[in-house]
Amino acid sequence: MPKSFTIKVLNIVSKIPPGKTATYAEVAKKAGSPRAYRAVGNILNRNFRESRWQLPIIKGKPVPCHRVIKSDGSIGGYAKGSLAKEKILLDEGLKIEKHKIINST
């Protein structure tokens, strides 16, 4: 994917507020490539803040990639593990049952 797509994805995800989510497909569509939802996942997977190959921080904050979930409401991947992602989402007020968001917004 071109760098411009990466920047679009990061900007879109950076605007997802706490307690809200978006799907990989929704992010891909907003970024102008509706079928590139797997590329969105790959871009966000590289957003691990403790690695040497970090992606840029948008507007002074790390991109909240934990707020992007699968289309079926399941948690999806996360660099620190899906249980860590689930805990962060729970702390932000989302309800989760059997590793799926039940009040996805």
**Can you name the residues that pair with 100 across neighbouring β-strands?**
74, 97
Q: What pLDDT, on a 0 to 100 scale, did the predictor assign at position 1?
A: 52
In the prediction, which pLDDT does 27 show?
98
Residue 71 annotated in active site: no
> How far apart, in whole angstroms, are the C-alpha atoms of residue 52 and residue 31?
26
Full domain range(s) for residue 63: 3-101
| CATH, residue 81 | 1.10.10.10
Please give the pLDDT value at position 56. Answer: 58
Which of 28, 44, 65, 75 is labelled catalytic? 65
- Rounded to a whole number of angstroms, the CA Rg of the chain reads 13
Q: For each successive 10 residues of the chain (105 residues), what is the average pLDDT? A: 83 93 97 96 77 61 88 90 93 94 70
